[in-house]
Amino acid sequence: MPRSDKDPARPKGRMTAYAFFVQAQRDHLKKTQPEKNVDFKEFSRCCSTDWKKIEEKDKLKYEALAQADKVRYDREMASYVPQDDGSGKKKGKKTKDPNAPKRGMSGFLFYCSDRRPVLKAANPEWGMSDLSRALGDEWRAFTDAQKEPYLKKATADKERYQHQMACYKKGGSWRDADY
C-alpha cells in the first residue's frame, strides 16, 4: 500500500543484489514448504548468513539482476515528472507571520508571571524546572475563587487578541487598534 505523502506515479525504487537473493530464497521456501509459517526474524538471519557464504560466481547472477533493475529505474526516472500539488514547495510546518498579533495568555501564565519572581527570590538555587513544578503545584491547589482574577485577565487578553486578529485579517494595522 503506497504511503499517502508519496507520489503514486513515482517509479518503484531499484533493488539491490541482496534484495534479489532474498526474494529468490523466499520464493524457493514457498515452493518447497507452502504450508510452513515462516518466522521473519529467523528467515532474515538465515538469508544474511547464506549471502555471506555464497560464492562470488553465484552472486554475479543477482548482481546482473540488480544492474538490469538499475537501468529500468534510471529509464523510468528520466521520464518521470513529479506531480505538482499547486503549492510549489513541500508541505511542512506552517510558518507564523512575525507581524501577526501575539496570542492571549492563559490564566496560569498570568499567575506564573506574578508569582515566579517571588518564588525565585525565596529560592535562588532553584532552576526553571523546580520553579515550574512549584508553580504548577500551587496552581492545582488553588480554589476557583483564587484562580478567578487570573482567569479574568486571560479572558480580557483573549478578547484583545481576537480584536487585534480581526484588524490584522482586514489588512489594517492591529498595533493601532484601540483596545
CB neighbour list of residue 50: distance below 8 Å, 6 or more residues apart: 21, 25
For residues 179 and 165, what is the distance between their CA atoms, to the nearest angstrom? 12
- Domain residue limits at 40: 17-79
> Do 128 and 69 fall within a single domain?
no
Residue 11 lies in a domain: no
Q: Is 82 helix (H, G, I), strand (E, B) or coil?
A: coil
Task: Report how many domains make up the chain.
Answer: 2
- The CATH number assigned to the domain holding 130 equals 1.10.30
Residue 158 lies in a domain: yes
Q: Tens-of-pLDDT digits for all 179 residues of the chain?
A: 444 557 777 888 899 999 999 999 988 888 888 888 878 888 899 999 999 999 989 899 999 999 999 999 999 888 888 776 655 556 677 888 888 889 999 999 999 999 999 999 999 999 999 999 999 999 999 999 999 999 999 999 999 999 988 888 887 676 765 65
* C-alpha 9 chain-centroid distance: 24
